[in-house]
Amino acid sequence: MKPTAIAVVGSQNSGKTTVIEALTRELVKRGFNVAAVKHIPEPDFTIDTKGKDTWRFSQAGAKMIMVVSSDEVATIEKVKIKKVTVRTILKKCKGSDVVFLEGFRNMVTSEKRLAKIVVITSAQEAHEAIVKFHPILALTGPYSPEGLGLNVVHVDVLKNPDMLADMVENAIRH
């Protein structure tokens, strides 16, 4: 079964990681296998450390470097982000029930079949989200758009993580 992908988008420091953390905790309790994928927009960011063995492998030309320890496996793939799609990410997360994509704002905007949870910090962000992101599963974040007439549910993930998890679980099952 292909995992359900849900994009969590919002401005910098809006609380995207907090939303994914709360949803992951709740869904794992319910028995779901959760994957989380984080987009890091800094142009020259690498998790590799100059001079270490993995760095030396990539400098020698390896396009995939894997590190295996007693408790985890980490894979570093040398690819251009323009070649990475939601589909390629989901293929790498096979075996998961749900995959949370944090960030990837430009990539997920045009994905009309990809549900989005939008973290908002202002009325302006709420209005922009309604125009830009479709479909929206829910709005969340420190700003409550009550009274704006947006016709999208807002869930305070800090107070009601189970409510937002119910919505995600429903998306997984359908």
Long-range contacts of 136-139 (CB under 8 A, 24+ apart): 137/6, 137/167, 137/168, 137/171, 138/164, 138/167
The residue among 121 and 77 whose pLDDT is bigger is 121
pLDDT in tens, 4-43: 999 999 999 999 999 999 999 999 999 999 999 998 877 7
Mean pLDDT across the chain, nearest whole number? 91
pTM assigned to the model = 0.88
Secondary structure of 131-143 in HEC code, one letter for each residue: HHCCCEEEEECCC
**Whether pLDDT at 106 is above 90:** no
| Structural domain 4-42+80-173, CATH architecture | 3-Layer(aba) Sandwich (3.40)
pLDDT over 90, % of the chain: 63
pLDDT in tens, 126-163: 999 999 999 999 999 999 888 888 889 999 999 999 99
**Whether pLDDT at 82 is above 80:** no
